[in-house]
Amino acid sequence: MRDLAAGIVKQALAAGATGAECTMSEGDEFSANVRMRELETLKEAGSRGVGLRILVGKRTGSAYTSDFSSEGIRLMVRQAMELAEVTTEDPHLGLPDPAELGSLEGDLALYCGEVAQMETPFKIDLAKQAEAAALDADPRISNSEGASCDTNLARHVFANSLGFTGEYRSSNCSLSAVPVACEGESMERDYWFSLARSFAGLEKPADIGRIAAERALRRLGAVKVQTQKVPVVFEPRTARSLLGNIFEAVHGESIYRHASFLAGKLGEKVASEKLTVIDDGTIPGLFGTSPFDDEGVPTRRTVVIERGVLKTYLVNTYTARKLGMKTTGNAARGITGNAGIGHGNLYMERGHKSPEEILKGIPNGFYVTELIGFGINIVTGDYSRGATGLWIRNGELAFPVSEVTIAGNLSNMLQNLEFIGSDLEFRGSTAAPTLCIGEMTVGGR
Amino acid sequence: MGISDSFFASRFNITERDLERYLDEALSRGGDYADLYFEYLATSAISMDESIVKSATQGVSLGIGVRVIAGERTGYAYSDDLSPEKILKAAKVAACIAEGPSQVEKTPLQEGPRRNLYPVIVAPTDTAFSDRVELVKRADKCARAYDPRVFQVQATYADNLRHVMVATSDGVLNFDRQPMARLNVRALARQDGGPPQSGHSGGGGRVGLEFFLNEKTPEHFATEAARQAIVQLNAIEAPAGELTVVLGPGWPGILLHEAVGHGLEADFNRKGTSAFSGRIGQQVASPLCTVVDDGTIRNRRGSLNLDDEGSVTQRNVLIENGILRGYLQDKLSSRIMGSPQTGSGRRESYAHIPMPRMTNTFLMPGESDPADIIRSVSKGLYCANFGGGQVDITSGNFVFSASESYLIEDGHLTRPVRNATLIGNGPESMRHVSMVGSNLELDEGMGVCGKEGQSVPVGVGMPTIKIDKMTVGGTA
């Protein structure tokens, strides 16, 4: 595949391009779903795609196809070239500086061959065990949206006209359960999952089912509270979403457009000094790790916020040039098009207090276990989302709460971060421990 | 048109005999039902930012999905290669879900009735790129000219043309050609070096390029995006807590999509995991509410000649005068529940399993004058535009985010307020609908609905309505 990608780049240059980037990916997916102890769905397939982005001077064009025949590739090259005629010259357009290209050395533990060897009946059985553990946990778990075991294997190739070619494989397997708890008029569902590069890294099916059941059960009989301003604690699962918001706010494209509340704040104190945010694409075995980004630049460890001070934005080559920076190795794209920006493993450094210690200091507050909706405006930082969780009374989780909103402004929320927990765990490419924000508006009755 | 004239026959030499052979293979291990979904999708996208056309992309993806149903079990496999060997291999993989001898008598393939809800002669995807680039350029220019306080504009245009062919073991053979186009504009405005505010607008449908030249022009969307950004410059903090809420016509119909629509999808209801499960015939909304899901409206974004299981789409009354009438069915759920099909089986692509989905979901008009509705509120919130929404099907709790709203004081719209999320519980909120306007409007055609990782285009619509009590998630 590497040779094919390099060959496509050559073909583009021969067709008149002054620069070219070719992305190729190939993947196999498998999914087994069970529901109420019976197999419900099996899905299995493989697919591949190739994309090309060409430069003609300061103009660009992109195309993609799933047709790998020489005719299909020729058509893709022609289509990309055709589009360079309709785009406008952009002075900042270009490939990375050659000196910046490269790939991390060593085994990043992204691929585990045994994932491909897992037999279908074995995977079905894992899902059945996870669901059974949830159903057997309590008589009130009387229904289920099921449990699933998924595996994915992928190969990713990138080549450009500066001579870079790179390739890596990755594997993933995941196991999840979604039980439904019922009591009287109240019906609630929740979930738990485990994601790993290898089967050995998965949590035990019985634990996944049990935790999912406990989570659904503790939501039963939820009430709506009165509107009030209180401390709000985000458990790790919801705290992760705040990292996602921080990512959007330090995203190079939002910055050059002034479409972020953090634009122009480099070097300023934008958060409580308790907060340190790091993006690290180099940690072996994790889900945001890769040897190079989608422009062929090695990934790295970047401190984004250090003890409350904004140290850098996350950029690719284009946005770096717009902002007078150097790329941070955060280029990301699908199969084609101009590179966008992504993160590696984006996480908050852990604090010293356990979640229990954080709760203990709160006489009256809200512990958020699920957030819904899209009410976040990165331009202004205005934050308003639907929330579900548990009310904190005298330092303890007292009763379930739902159908309320939590609102504030991200800028104030970050300054007002009172505690960061010690319970940091990587369950995806973003990771945050328990967080406590001094005050937010809970909207209810 | 017979199969021999179809896109897949002429492009890939696929014959009716081939289809029969693939279906036979799919049912070779048993199973009650099998279907084949062929898809060829050509897409293009153009984006303008800082008055520069920064990107233009086009491409093709194609493939086939094979599904086998045995009882309540589904086997699925797909291939992005339409060679007979690869299709047969996918059919074999999907067949594994079934055990035992074949139980089903296959019905010979027969072409279904044909109609065309989107008679677009030249699909946007087949027009000159220079004409499409002109749309984003016009939008950019107009938004910037709207007001000197507008300082950033992004205009994006995207279209696609999808050819599909569906063949099923119960004898359906159907074809469709589905065009789609959309133009979006986002504007940022700033006053005297203060903080920026944003506005967004967009729309389109299953239309030809002439739609953007004659009906909804780039200037229409650009003006709307710029106007919203300017309005936000003077917005105050949104209120927090329970309030009377008036929703404007059109896109705020996303309320129905979240509060009602998802909860009425049959998969959740046959499993008993929806807040609406087992409630057919019951009062689940105010008697003023009649909610319809209609996949047959000409040129609409959510419309389809056929759903993605080859069934003809139709107009489905979900709630009639407040009484729950029925669910949105796909083939699997309608078989299990013994209910008639509603033409609601949809999927994102050949790589996805179909499930019950909405098309264009709206509330039928009532009798109130929209101006009277606002006049009737002494203290409340008027929401003119929304961003996205989401629902927890099981508890019935749903949210949607107001992107343009105003305080109502003594029957008049006064100050604009900042973005806020509104939250409610589906069956409960619909009971609080106390006035329904006569001014039904459908949205402009930019909705995307996500469910279990699959995105499909949808439409929504609503007249002005009053909800006596909803929780507003502001800070004031």
**pLDDT one-digit tens code per residue, A285-327:** 999 999 999 999 999 999 999 999 999 999 999 999 999 999 9
Query: Is there a contact between B271 and A145 if contact means CB atoms under 8 Å apart?
Result: yes
**What confidence category does residue B86 fall into, taking pLDDT thresholds of 50, 70 and 90?**
very high
Mutation pick from A218, A245, A441, A442 vs chain B, by most beta carbons of B within 10 Å, is A441
DSSP-derived letter for residue A326 is -
pLDDT for position B1: 56
pLDDT for position B99: 80
Q: Which 3 state secondary structure label does DSSP give A335?
A: coil
pLDDT for position B6: 87
Instruction: Say whether residue B210 is in contact with chain A using an 8 A CB cutoff.
Output: no
CATH number at residue B38: 3.30.2290.10
For the stretch B273-296, pLDDT in tens is: 999 999 999 999 999 999 999 999
Distance CA A98, CA A86 (A): 28
- Which H/E stretch holds residue A49? strand A38-56
CATH number at residue A182: 3.30.2290.10
Nearest C-alpha neighbor of B292 from the set B104, B162, B462:
B462
pLDDT for position B102: 65
Chain A positions in Cβ-Cβ contact with residue B388 (cut-off 8 Å)? 373-374
Mutation pick from B191, B399, B422, B451 vs chain A, by most beta carbons of A within 10 Å, is B399
Distance CA A439, CA A96 (A): 44
Tokens of B356: 């019950």
Shared domain for A202 and A322, answered yes or no, is: no
Instruction: Say whether residue A44 is in contact with chain B using an 8 A CB cutoff.
Output: yes
Q: Is pLDDT above 90 for B114? A: no
| Domain boundary residue, one of A217, A235, A265 | A217
Shared domain for A179 and A309, answered yes or no, is: no
A70-84 vs A2-14: helix crossing angle, rounded to 10: 50
User: Mind giving me the DSSP string for B63-131?
Assistant: EEEEEEEETTEEEEEEES--SHHHHHHHHHHHHTT--SS---PPPPPEEPP---S---SS-GGGS-HHH
What is the arithmetic mean of pLDDT over B302-308? 97
Tokens of A72: 């299909």
Chain B positions in Cβ-Cβ contact with residue A405 (cut-off 8 Å)? 240, 399, 420-421, 423, 471-473
For the stretch B399-416, pLDDT in tens is: 999 999 999 999 999 999
Q: How many CA atoms lie within 13 A of A6 on its CB side?
A: 9
Phi, psi of A336 (to 5 degrees): -150, 180
Shared domain for B269 and B126, answered yes or no, is: no
pLDDT for position A19: 98
Report the domain count for chain A: 2
Instruction: Say whether residue B60 is in contact with chain A using an 8 A CB cutoff.
Output: yes
Which residues, numbered 112 to 171 in chain B, qualify as contacts with chain A under a Cβ-Cβ cut-off of 8 Å? 129-130, 133, 151-152, 154
| Domain boundary residue, one of A183, A217, A251 | A217
Shared domain for A197 and A251, answered yes or no, is: no
Question: Would the CA dihedral through B5, B7, B13, B14 be positive or negative?
Answer: negative
Shared domain for B59 and B106, answered yes or no, is: yes
For the stretch B13-59, pLDDT in tens is: 999 999 999 999 999 999 999 999 999 999 999 999 999 999 999 99
Chain B positions in Cβ-Cβ contact with residue A39 (cut-off 8 Å)? 73, 97
Q: Is pLDDT above 80 for B393? A: yes
Residue of A nearest to B471 (CA): A444
| Most distant CA pair in chain B, distance | 77
Of B76, B77, B241, the CB nearest to A443: B241
Which residues, numbered 56 to 75 in chain A, qualify as contacts with chain B under a Cβ-Cβ cut-off of 8 Å? 60-67
pLDDT for position A439: 97
Q: Is pLDDT above 90 for B85? A: yes
Task: Work out the burial of residue A395: count CB atoms within 10 Å of its CB; fewer than 13 is exposed, 13-18 middle, 19 or more buried.
Answer: middle
Question: Would the CA dihedral through B249, B252, B253, B256 be positive or negative?
Answer: negative
Shared domain for A138 and A156, answered yes or no, is: yes
Shared domain for A387 and A419, answered yes or no, is: yes
Shared domain for B197 and B66, answered yes or no, is: yes
Looking at residue B258, its amino acid is E
Give the structural domain span for B156.
3-232
Give the structural domain span for A150.
2-217
Q: Is pLDDT above 70 for B260? A: yes
Distance CA B149, CA B404 (A): 18
Question: Would the CA dihedral through A241, A243, A249, A250 be positive or negative?
Answer: negative
Report the domain count for chain B: 2
Shared domain for A126 and A165, answered yes or no, is: yes
**A16: phi > 0 → left, psi -120 to 50 → alpha, else beta; which?**
left
Tokens of B352: 């996805």
pTM score, whole prediction: 0.95
| Domain boundary residue, one of B232, B257, B288 | B232
Shared domain for A226 and A202, answered yes or no, is: no
Chain B positions in Cβ-Cβ contact with residue A337 (cut-off 8 Å)? 45, 55, 57
Phi, psi of A100 (to 5 degrees): -85, -10
Query: Is there a contact between B59 and A441 if contact means CB atoms under 8 Å apart?
Result: no
Shared domain for A180 and A240, answered yes or no, is: no
pLDDT for position B101: 67
What is the arithmetic mean of pLDDT over A348-364? 97
Shared domain for B331 and B448, answered yes or no, is: yes
pLDDT for position B388: 87
Shared domain for A258 and A282, answered yes or no, is: yes
Shared domain for A244 and A371, answered yes or no, is: yes
Secondary structure, 3-state, B14-53: CCHHHHHHHHHHHCCCCCCEEEEEEEEEEEEEEEEECCEE
Number of neighbouring beta carbons within 10 Å of residue B373: 25
Instruction: Say whether residue A40 is in contact with chain B using an 8 A CB cutoff.
Output: yes
Percent residues over pLDDT 90 in chain B: 92
Shared domain for B204 and B345, answered yes or no, is: no
Query: Is there a contact between B395 and A188 if contact means CB atoms under 8 Å apart?
Result: yes
Q: Is pLDDT above 90 for B2? A: no
| Domain boundary residue, one of B175, B197, B232 | B232
Shared domain for B131 and B213, answered yes or no, is: yes
Query: What share of residues in chain A are helix, strand, coil (percent, to 5)?
Result: 25, 40, 35
For the stretch B153-162, pLDDT in tens is: 999 999 999 9
pLDDT for position B277: 93
Shared domain for B405 and B338, answered yes or no, is: yes
Distance CA A235, CA A242 (A): 11
Shared domain for B180 and B275, answered yes or no, is: no
Looking at residue B106, its amino acid is K
Contacts of B144 (CB under 8 A, 6+ apart): B51, B150, B153
Shared domain for B103 and B194, answered yes or no, is: yes
Shared domain for A152 and A233, answered yes or no, is: no
Average pLDDT over chain A reads: 97
Distance from CA of residue A418 to its chain's centroid? 25
Q: Is pLDDT above 90 for B226? A: yes
Shared domain for B179 and B282, answered yes or no, is: no
Query: Is there a contact between B400 and A41 if contact means CB atoms under 8 Å apart?
Result: no
Chain A positions in Cβ-Cβ contact with residue B60 (cut-off 8 Å)? 64-67
Shared domain for B223 and B269, answered yes or no, is: no
Instruction: Say whether residue A27 is in contact with chain B using an 8 A CB cutoff.
Output: no
Shared domain for B154 and B192, answered yes or no, is: yes
**What confidence category does residue A364 fall into, taking pLDDT thresholds of 50, 70 and 90?**
very high
For the stretch B232-257, pLDDT in tens is: 999 999 999 999 999 999 999 999 99
How large is the ipTM?
A: 0.94
| Domain boundary residue, one of B204, B232, B260 | B232
Query: Is there a contact between A258 and B151 if contact means CB atoms under 8 Å apart?
Result: yes
pLDDT for position B103: 67
Shared domain for A177 and A229, answered yes or no, is: no
| Domain boundary residue, one of A217, A242, A264 | A217
